[in-house]
Amino acid sequence: MARNIRVNVEYLTRVEGHGNIVVNVKDGKLEQCELDIIESPRFFEGMIRGRSIFEAQHITCRICGICSCGHTLASIQAAENAIGFKPSRQTQELRKLLLHMEELDSHILHIYLLVAPDLLGVKSFVPLISSHNEVVRRALRMKKMCNDICDILVGRHVHPISSIVGGFTKLPEEKDLDAILEILFKLQADMEPTIALAATLKFPEFERDTEYIALVNDGNEYPLLEGDIGSTDGLRVKKENYKGVTNEFIVPHSSAKHTRASRESYMVGALARFNLNYDKLHPKAQKVAEHIGMKPKVKNPYLNTAAQLVECVHCLEDAIRILKEFKETGIRQEEAVIVGLNEKGTIPVRAGRGVGAVEVPRGILFHDYEVDEKGKIVNANCIIPTGQNLNNIEHDMRKMVPEILEQSDEAITLRLEMLVRAYDPCISCSAHFLNVKFVNR
């Protein structure tokens, strides 16, 4: 018999920020299926107009407490592109290390604290504190280790201080490299049981073919910090032309804009990167993917979490590589730069436009600045990964709901919530977002 279903989740938990899921099925026909984003816009782009590009990263990193390093790096990249500054190899390697720690930190918390409870059949990670105390402590211990490395590298756990346009105000000394490497080896020890645990988790079965978008390059490196924009549909454009990829548009039920590229929607994030750049993952990360049965092209969005696990291994191993290389070559301390607001003209400035495109934990992040001849920002645009995924989540929901109509309202609600959580959305960052409203089925 055709059913009427009303799902109305007016506060989705275990995501960052606020959003609602609304599903309305009438006489067995899907009439409404929306992800309402109800966060207020943040106006960061307006805030940095008239400010110096040399302070923009300190402001824009406040868009997000988890992706603060990613925003810092995208902001710096946009600024350096705008004024024509080319960072040194040492600077880029240290920036990659910083980004690796952020990916690892964010992915670990998402896998352990936000997704694992669903897969272990509990409402939140709080019951796991008693049933899996060591597991919860391991998750938080790994998070702390990533934070501690950031502290050593850029002066703070979050919101980097020493990472600036031009390089770093303070560079790690020999003892700092030793301290970071020691922490990385401890992380390596905690990664083994993490992989073992994740391999036991059973993800829901669902597939929808979509376009996956991430940074790509022609080299051998898994691109996180640099590259062109590429897609599984064959798109490849320079980052400066990102607007031709994102094609933002407004929908009435969301304070965050939606995006689409070659087809109705696209996905960014760990699964997109995995699908596009699998061959460039560290061999140990590829081995983990094989162990859990993943091979591109993976079309199950729930496996974004599994792709995050694979990336954890990659980021950790590549971080160790970077550290070992620095141990051999040493750090060129003379590259430290004190720029301030560039009052002394330490870095030559010119008018221009620059785009930063960085793969942060939830996907590709764009910062686009136009600066005047004094280095003041006259125009800015930031496009956050969660915003790019919203349209794709809705299309997933529209395909999935008719496939699971025979299930109870509770089961449908849970599957929808798990779907949204699999994308690891950062809603307040995108509003530029979770509650589920079933309206009739």
Partner 1 sequence: MSNLLTAEVSDALKPSSGSGLILTAGNPFRRDDGVGPYIASRLQGSSAKIIDAGLTPENIIDEVIGLKPDRMTVIDAADFGGYPGEVKVIPEDLIAETSLSTHEIPMNVITKIISDGTQAEVVFIGIQPQTVALGEGLSERVQASAEAIIQTVLQAYSKPR
Chain positions contacting partner 1, by CB under 8 A: 11, 13-17, 64-66, 106, 109-110, 113-114, 124-126, 129-130, 133, 136-137, 140-141, 143-144, 147, 157, 424, 426
> Closer to partner 1 at the Cβ: 309 or 322?
309
> Closer to partner 1 at the Cβ: 140 or 195?
140
> Closer to partner 1 at the Cβ: 137 or 350?
137
> Closer to partner 1 at the Cβ: 136 or 400?
136
HSE at residue 334, side-chain half, CA atoms within 13 A, is: 0
In the complex, least distance from residue 128 CB atom to partner 1, rounded to whole angstroms: 10
In the complex, least distance from residue 64 CB atom to partner 1, rounded to whole angstroms: 8
In the complex, least distance from residue 433 CB atom to partner 1, rounded to whole angstroms: 11
> Closer to partner 1 at the Cβ: 339 or 390?
390
In the complex, least distance from residue 309 CB atom to partner 1, rounded to whole angstroms: 15
In the complex, least distance from residue 359 CB atom to partner 1, rounded to whole angstroms: 17
In the complex, least distance from residue 5 CB atom to partner 1, rounded to whole angstroms: 25
Per-residue 3-state assignment (H helix, E strand, C coil) for the chain:
CCCCEEEEECCCCCCECCEEEEEEEECCEEEEEEEEECCCCCCHHHHHCCCECCCHHHHHHHHCCCCHHHHHHHHHHHHHHHHCCCCCHHHHHHHHHHHHHHHHHHHHHHHHHHHHHHHCCCCCCHHHHHHCHHHHHHHHHHHHHHHHHHHHHHCCCCCCCCEECCEECCCCCHHHHHHHHHHHHHHHHHHHHHHHHHCCCCCCCCCCCCEEEEEECCCCCCCCCCCEEEECCCCEECHHHCHHHHCCECCCCECCCECCCCCCCEECCHHHHHHHHHHHCCHHHHHHHHHCCCCCCCCCHHHHHHHHHHHHHHHHHHHHHHHHHHHHHCCCHHHCCCCCCCCCCCCCCCCEEEEEEEEECCEEEEEEEEECCCCEEEEEEEECHHHHHHHHHHHHHHHHHHHCCCCCHHHHHHHHHHHHHHCCCEHHHHCCCCCEEECCC
> Closer to partner 1 at the Cβ: 124 or 329?
124
> Closer to partner 1 at the Cβ: 133 or 329?
133
In the complex, least distance from residue 163 CB atom to partner 1, rounded to whole angstroms: 19
In the complex, least distance from residue 11 CB atom to partner 1, rounded to whole angstroms: 8
> Closer to partner 1 at the Cβ: 405 or 414?
414
Nearest to 415 by CA among 23, 1, 2, 18: 23
In the complex, least distance from residue 431 CB atom to partner 1, rounded to whole angstroms: 14
Hey, which residues does 161 pair with through a beta bridge? none
Q: Could you give phi then psi for residue 52, rounded to 5 degrees?
A: -75, 145
Nearest to 433 by CA among 182, 270, 251, 175: 251
> Closer to partner 1 at the Cβ: 130 or 200?
130
> Closer to partner 1 at the Cβ: 141 or 321?
141
In the complex, least distance from residue 390 CB atom to partner 1, rounded to whole angstroms: 17
How far apart are the C-alpha atoms of 49 and 378, rounded to whole Å? 5
In the complex, least distance from residue 110 CB atom to partner 1, rounded to whole angstroms: 6
Q: Are 246 and 299 in contact (CB under 8 A)?
A: no
Which structure tokens are listed for 205? 């079965």
> Closer to partner 1 at the Cβ: 227 or 363?
363
